[in-house]
């Protein structure tokens, strides 16, 4: 913020006499920037401060983590939007802060700390410097008193590399990243006024009426037999176990493609029904703080191994506490 201020200051000198100082109209900059608590996800209105990696007075660069907040589902790193000195954090560890409230203040006019400009000696450069030989080479034609070494017999050619056996796949580790293989297109259709009214009434009924949950039984005998018969071959080829979740995800994906209305959503701003031409399915995985529901994206392009590999990756992230909000946003269907 820049404003125009005019002021007069009076102060006492060392001789006891008062002196006046007058400054005319000049712009005064206010480099202090207040950062608020951002959105922490759907239906989450507050978070708890669990870590303050930066102390007041320290300088932070753009995207440095200043505060770590924890919600019921994930931990969120609040980063500095630009470089500056941290003036204060409005709260302490274990304090609860609400979304939209002031979180910390940055002095964006502060000077960055000076870095050492002394050139560093690179070890690679040292390796390029030739080392002095222990003994100088004898001049040409001067006898050395030693017989020349006998020529070494030629070594046999190296054996050709062996092909990797199929069993070596059992030791392969699952990929660390999810396999997003397909396109993510959408199509929109305009909602009629009657459709808008029906959707509003259904939502009102959901908010006010008692909802009924039904349970359907399914014969899992064939799936259990298939899993038992192919488990060893599956582990040998992909290095992961064949579970039931991959079958559940594949079945749900086929159903969503067969009934696209279940995979659609309503855009309130444009009054349109948006039909997803891809399938994103949420799966429940255990974490130290309870169940979390990350999203498998583009499951229509995944195989059983892809599903199991991505579930394993999310389970490890949940155990390490590194799941982000993006990992749990956007699922259209959930399997437990």
Q: What is the pLDDT of residues 75-118, one digit of tens each?
A: 889 999 999 999 999 989 888 899 999 999 999 888 888 765 55
Q: Check residue 89 and give left, alpha or beta (phi > 0: left; psi -120 to 50: alpha).
A: beta
Look at residue 17 and tell me whether its pLDDT is greater than 70.
Answer: no
Mean per-residue pLDDT for 258-265? 92
Mean per-residue pLDDT for 190-204? 74
For 233, the 3-state DSSP assignment is helix
In this prediction, what percent of the chain has a pLDDT beyond 70? Answer: 70
Judged by average pLDDT, the poorest of 80-89, 145-154, 192-201 is 145-154
Q: Which residues pair with 20 in a beta bridge?
A: 10
**Is residue 28 very low, low, confident or very high in pLDDT (cuts 50, 70, 90)?**
very low
- pLDDT tens for 222-231 read 999 999 999 9
How many other C-beta atoms lie within 10 A of the C-beta of residue 69? 24
Q: In the chain, what is the greatest distance between 2 CA atoms, to the nearest angstrom? A: 108
Mean per-residue pLDDT for 236-257? 93
For 88, the 3-state DSSP assignment is strand
Q: What is the DSSP letter of 122?
A: P
For 208, the 3-state DSSP assignment is helix
User: What rounded mean pLDDT belongs to the chain?
Assistant: 77
pLDDT attached to residue 173: 52
**Cα 250 to chain centroid, rounded:** 26
pLDDT attached to residue 166: 45
**Cα 205 to chain centroid, rounded:** 37
Rounded alpha-carbon distances, angstroms, from residue 284 to 107, 281, 311, 331: 42, 10, 9, 12
CA dihedral 250, 262, 186, 40 (to 10 degrees): -90
Give every CB contact of residue 266 below 8 A, 6+ residues apart in sequence. 191, 199, 272, 273, 274
How far is residue 295's CA from residue 284's CA, in Å, rounded to a whole number? Answer: 9
Look at residue 168 and tell me whether its pLDDT is greater than 80.
Answer: no
**Is residue 249 very low, low, confident or very high in pLDDT (cuts 50, 70, 90)?**
very high
In this prediction, what percent of the chain has a pLDDT beyond 90? Answer: 36
Phi, psi of 254 (to 5 degrees): -65, -40
Look at residue 23 and tell me whether its pLDDT is greater than 80.
Answer: no
pLDDT attached to residue 65: 92
For 161, the 3-state DSSP assignment is coil
How far is residue 333's CA from residue 253's CA, in Å, rounded to a whole number? Answer: 9
Look at residue 196 and tell me whether its pLDDT is greater than 80.
Answer: no
Give every CB contact of residue 70 below 8 A, 6+ residues apart in sequence. 47, 48, 50, 76
Q: What's the token pair of residue 221?
A: 């005998």
Mean per-residue pLDDT for 235-258? 94
Phi, psi of 169 (to 5 degrees): -65, -20
């Amino acid at each position: 913020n820049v404003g125009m201020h005019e002021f007069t200051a009076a102060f006492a000198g060392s001789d006891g006499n008062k002196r006046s100082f007058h400054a005319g109209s000049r712009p005064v900059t206010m480099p202090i920037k207040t950062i608020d608590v951002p959105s922490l996800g759907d239906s989450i209105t507050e978070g708890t401060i669990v870590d303050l990696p930066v102390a007041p007075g320290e300088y932070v660069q753009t995207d440095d983590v200043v505060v770590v907040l924890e919600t019921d589902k994930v931990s969120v790193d609040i980063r500095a939007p630009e470089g500056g000195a941290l003036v204060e954090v409005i709260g302490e560890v274990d304090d609860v802060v609400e979304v939209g409230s002031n979180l910390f203040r940055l002095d964006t006019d502060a000077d960055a700390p000076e870095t050492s400009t002394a050139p560093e000696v690179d070890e690679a450069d040292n390796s390029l410097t030739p080392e002095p030989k222990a003994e100088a080479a004898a001049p040409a034609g001067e006898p050395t008193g030693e017989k020349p070494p006998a020529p070494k017999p030629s070594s046999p050619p190296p054996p050709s590399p062996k092909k990797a056996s199929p069993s070596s796949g059992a030791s392969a580790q699952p990929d660390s990243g999810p396999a997003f293989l397909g396109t993510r297109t959408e199509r929109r259709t305009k909602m009629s006024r009657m459709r808008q009214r029906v959707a509003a009434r259904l939502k009102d009924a959901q908010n006010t009426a008692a909802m009924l949950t039904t349970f359907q039984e399914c014969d899992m005998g064939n799936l259990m037999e298939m899993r038992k018969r192919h488990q060893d071959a599956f582990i040998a080829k992909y290095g992961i176990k064949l579970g039931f979740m991959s079958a559940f995800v594949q079945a749900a994906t086929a159903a969503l493609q067969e009934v696209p209305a279940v995979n659609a959503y309503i855009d309130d701003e444009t009054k349109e029904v948006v039909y997803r031409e891809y399938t994103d399915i949420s799966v429940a995985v255990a974490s130290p703080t309870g169940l979390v529901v990350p999203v498998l994206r583009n499951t229509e392009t995944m195989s059983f191994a892809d599903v199991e590999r991505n579930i394993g990756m999310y389970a490890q992230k949940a155990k390490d506490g590194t799941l982000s909000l993006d990992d749990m946003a956007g699922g259209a269907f959930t399997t437990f």
